[in-house]
Chain A
Amino acid sequence: MYGLKTDWLEEPTPRYYTLGDYEGETARWCTGCGDHAVLTAVQRVCKEEQLPPDKTVFVSGIGCSSRFPHYMKTYGFHGLHGRALPVACGIRSRRPDLHIFVVTGDGDCCSIGTAHWIHAVHYNMNLVVMLFDNNCYGLTKNQTSPTSPKGSKSNTHPRGAALDPLNPVQITLAITNASFVARTVDWNPPHLFATLQAAHRHKGLSFVQIIQRCPHYKAGVHDPLQSDPSQLLLMTHPDGIQLDDSIKGIFKNQREHDPSDMDAARALARDPEGVSIGLFYRNESGERYDEYTALGIATSRDEKIAALKAELSLYQI
């Protein structure tokens, strides 16, 4: 290791990773929780993309979904409520070799961690950010979240939430330098998988809102969407999320949307014809802060000492 310009090594003999290589502890989410479906989809993405588990990191905050890293057999960082993004950005800043996924919830991302959400999108570092949006605080036992529907009852608003919910996609699309913004649902595995795979392949910050069921505290909230796919608007495009025709056929309501068209993306984010799912926006050529933060990464020890000596000499008496 000593004296090497680069301080990581490639594994000399590649091997084929199976789904089992990504399976960590047994998931302890409630029966019927949408998180199980996302876990399965993510493990499949890892396998399809053949991500080395030792080179993959899942970073999360606090909440039901933030237990996610424990259920993967990769490196994981289960940190503080709302603070997954700064940690993930810090990891990314000097480790271009790692695959980094961020797991966050609607309380984590859209409430306590809002500042980091906005700035992480602006930084546009190469990360996959999955917003597990179940419209409520689950782990703290049913409080209103910023995305709770107006009128929905919780322990903090027993007479119903007072305000219309925040729309995470609308907000993300408003941030300068947003480069990949998508929405999917936990109950359509092919769409979920295809969206996350596209997110992983994107170079930059991929923001994916996953509409996710909480059978315990928000039972039935998404039943209409689930049982009547016509309430969803499937965005299609050759540059968008690719689905088999058999899956596409489920969606009666479809609209071709060019993901390079930001104005159209912002219009669709208002869900004019039902809840839009698919890829709202993608820009592969956006500025990436991780390209800036990685500068100087190969500086040798001799160069470091020389730089300090040169600097000290300026202060010499």
Chain B
Amino acid sequence: MSAESTTKSSDADAPAGGASAAGNGNEVRVRTIPEQIVEIVSDSGEGAQTAGQLFGTVCAKMGNGLWTVEIIPAEIEPPARSQAGASGIRIRFATRPMTNMGDQADLVVSFNEQVLYSRIDQDALRTGTVLLIDDRWASDEDPGIQEAYQKALDDFRARGYEVRGVPIHSETSKVTDNPQRGKNMWVVGLLCALYNRNLDIAKKEVRKIFERRRKGQAVIDMNYKLLEAGHAWAIEHLDERFDVPAEEQETQMVVMNGNAAVAMGAMAAGIEVCSMYPITPATSATHYLASVFHEAGGLIHQAEDEIAAAGFAIGASYAGKTAITITSGPGMALKTEMLGLAVMAEIPLVVVDVQRGGPSTGLPTKVEQGDLLSSIFGMPGDSPKVVMAASSIDECFHFVITARKLAEAFCTPVILLTDANLSSGQTSFTMPEPNEDWLSPPVDQSPWKEGVAPYAWDQETGLSRRPVPGQAGGAFVLTGLAHDEKSHIAYESAVNQRTMRMRSRKMAALQKTLKPPEVHGDPEGDLLVVGWGSTRSAIDEAVDRIRKDGRKIGSLCLRFLSPLEPGLKEIFARYKRVMTVEINYSDDLGDPLIDDDTRRYAQLAWLLRAHTLVDLDCWSRVPGQPIPPWMIEEAVRGRLEGIK
């Protein structure tokens, strides 16, 4: 069997680890490869994600670059052995740092054959992908299942995959009475053997996982046994090993997913209150925060609904305590009125929107970049506010700190957009060094300066300081109604014009402090690909591949969407064409009825066309999963054909 692609094999004929004998007497080949994509796919509830996160952490701890993507069904217990119920995880690990999920898988471990059809449907497999499938179904008591199993395996072989039955269930049964719960660990043992991973590191992580879940030593010991059994079986029966060497790390690194990074960012920013309502895929950020926030003196408030979650955070913030609310698209929709109030009354607030597929309930567990325009514009009246997007997991951490500072300096809500790709994807990044400057200042309770109005807007920047309850001499009535400097209700035309101008001016003041974005690739040429959020790395990877063919193209990722980063028009002018690549819906030219008059653009493209008056093109898809580099490469190459 072979678990490498021809393009990735660095030196297949000169095995780095040499050859030795497997337990079955066959010679064992050890090959050194620079990169590997492994998936574990199962029915829901079989522990594939835990296993994959564990295996990924082991890879990262051994110094590999890592990116994981979870495959999550929308239901807790969807029907077993069905395409719709596929649950699992992809682990991409490599010698160099990894920041996206890559193209097709090299090897897939599957607990049944039916769930693999969902991966085929998602274009996740290629000719030569190795499939290790639990062989228990070959002897299932239901002849229908036996038949389905054989039929699928024949089909997989016909499709060009390398298929091998593995006795996952029967071997696990030898170790535990409950193989259904234990087989994920057995598989981690197998993978550790196959990829020359250090089993001791895996055991340390197992201990950590189960101690966090407050399990006793007996559970930990059982999982050690399962790991060892899977490992031993693989040593005995598989005659190939792979080595993915690590690069020496110059700095201390951490490994975590985007939701944990957001939660830690909240702690690092000195945020005191996190007010939320459960919503996929945002909630795990709060789950994690709930387990540690009290150590940093923080409060998690699970509100009665999304509106109350925003209201509670706004109340805390009005009272001088920094607050965050973490949600996803449908929650954003409900919070809209509260966000408008925070804009109008100039109350600092950090809002994290972990975007999922929309509209309505949409795709709860799947990624989309569909909330950009609603975040910027989706409120009654003109409601200028800061909107940022994290493009990586370390940005999920650091941008919360930035968002907190901006919210307070500019007295405004700051919306930080992440997505379902970042939220559950794991990667390693430089260990942050927490420091005092990141923390919010203590509540100011010094007397308010006499004669200063609660909204004493600086005429040039629109900035003002706000009195906090308890400040002597600062008493004022905050209102969501139109109001003047003194926060008195004011319906006069001139006052309304002036105060709207002040709130808008803050966006210009912030924009003047930003630097123009950096271009990746060629600084001028045929085409510039513009993206935002989690697509950055896949876009860069696609652009790099195309540049190898000599085409002059570049890419650019925007972190600030409101206000937009400066200098865009000048950058765009250096390319013959500019296009966006996004995970949201846009019409494709050439489809029935779709022409220049009817075409609806991807969201960033709408925004940039309006902002720069450049005739931007776009390519976007809503696959409910991250867009792999190969798809972007294909789309961009298609656009390049039209550019001479």
Which residues of chain B come closer than 8 Å to A90, judged between CB atoms?
A: 273, 275, 301, 311-319, 323
| Contact across chains for B270 and A301 when beta carbons are under 8 A apart | yes
Q: Which residues from chain B contact A2 at a C-beta distance below 8 Å?
A: 442
Is B254 in contact with A304, judged by CB distance below 8 angstroms? Answer: no
A94 touches B299 (CB 8 A): yes
Q: Is B617 an interface residue (CB 8 A)?
A: no
Once the chains are docked, how many angstroms separate the CA of A192 from the CA of B479? 27
Assess whether A89 is in contact with B315, with CB atoms less than 8 Å apart: yes
Q: Which residue of B lies closest to A314 (CB)?
A: B208
Q: Does B480 contact A (CB under 8 A)?
A: yes
The residue from B249, B256, B296 contacting A315, defined by CB atoms under 8 A apart: B256
**Chain A interface, number of residues (Cβ within 8 angstroms):** 64
- Determine whether A228 belongs to the interface, using a CB cutoff of 8 Å to chain B: no
Q: Are A312 and B264 in contact (CB under 8 A)?
A: yes
- Give which listed residue, A58, A70, A72, A95, contacts B470 with CB less than 8 A: A95
Distance of A80 Cα from B347 Cα, bound (Å): 14
* In contact, B431 and A316 (Cβ under 8 angstroms): yes
Give CA–CA (A315, B249) in the complex, Å: 15
Give chain A residues whose Cβ lies under 8 Å from the Cβ of B208: 314
Smallest CB-CB separation from B397: which chain A residue?
A312
**Residues 211-229 of B contacting A (Cβ, < 8 Å):** none
Option from A79, A307, A314 in Cβ contact (under 8 Å) with B480: A79
Number of B interface residues at 8 Å Cβ cutoff, please give it. Answer: 77
Pair B296/A303 contact, Cβ less than 8 Å: yes
Asked whether, in the complex, the Cβ of B311 is within 8 Å of the Cβ of A87, the reply is yes
In contact, A94 and B432 (Cβ under 8 angstroms):
no
Query: Which of B375-431 touch A at CB < 8 Å?
Result: 428, 431
Q: Known contacts being A70-B489, A87-B318, A312-B432, is A80 close to B338, with CB within 8 Å?
A: yes
Q: Is A222 part of the binding interface, using a Cβ–Cβ cutoff of 8 Å?
A: no
Given contacts A87-B311, A91-B315, A311-B264, contact A303 B253 (CB under 8 A): no
B225-264, CB under 8 A of A: which get 1 and which 0? 0000000000000000000000001001111100010001
Would A88 and B292 count as touching, CB distance under 8 A? no
A116 within 8 A of B: yes
| Interface assignment of B602: CB less than 8 Å from any CB of chain A | no
Contact B314 A307 (CB under 8 A): no
Contacts of B434 in A (CB 8 A): 305, 308-309, 312
Binding-face segment, A49-57, A130-138, A233-241: A49-57
Q: Which residues of A contact B431 (CB under 8 A)?
A: 312, 316
- Docked CA distance A10–B336 (Å): 37
- Residues in A24-53 with C-beta less than 8 Å from chain B: 24-25, 53
Picked from A1, A75, A314, the residue with its CB within 8 Å of the CB of B445 is A1
Q: Is the CB of A98 within 8 A of B469?
A: yes
If the complex has contacts A7-B445, A97-B470, are A296 and B299 also in contact, measured as CB distance less than 8 A? yes
* A316/B252 in contact, CB under 8 A: yes
Partner of B315, one of A86, A297, A299: A86
Cβ contacts under 8 Å, A115 to chain B: 304-305, 308
Shortest beta-carbon distance from A231 to chain B in Å:
37
Checking A1, A11, A317 against B255 with a beta-carbon cut-off of 8 angstroms, the contacting residue is A317
B contact residues around A1 at 8 Å (CB): 442, 444-446
**Leading 10 A-B pairs by shortest Cβ distance:** A90-B315, A299-B297, A86-B311, A76-B477, A296-B297, A90-B312, A307-B295, A86-B308, A87-B315, A119-B304
Pull 11 A–B residue pairs with CB atoms less than 8 Å apart, ordered by A: A8-B443, A54-B472, A55-B469, A58-B477, A75-B474, A79-B345, A85-B308, A86-B303, A88-B315, A90-B315, A119-B308
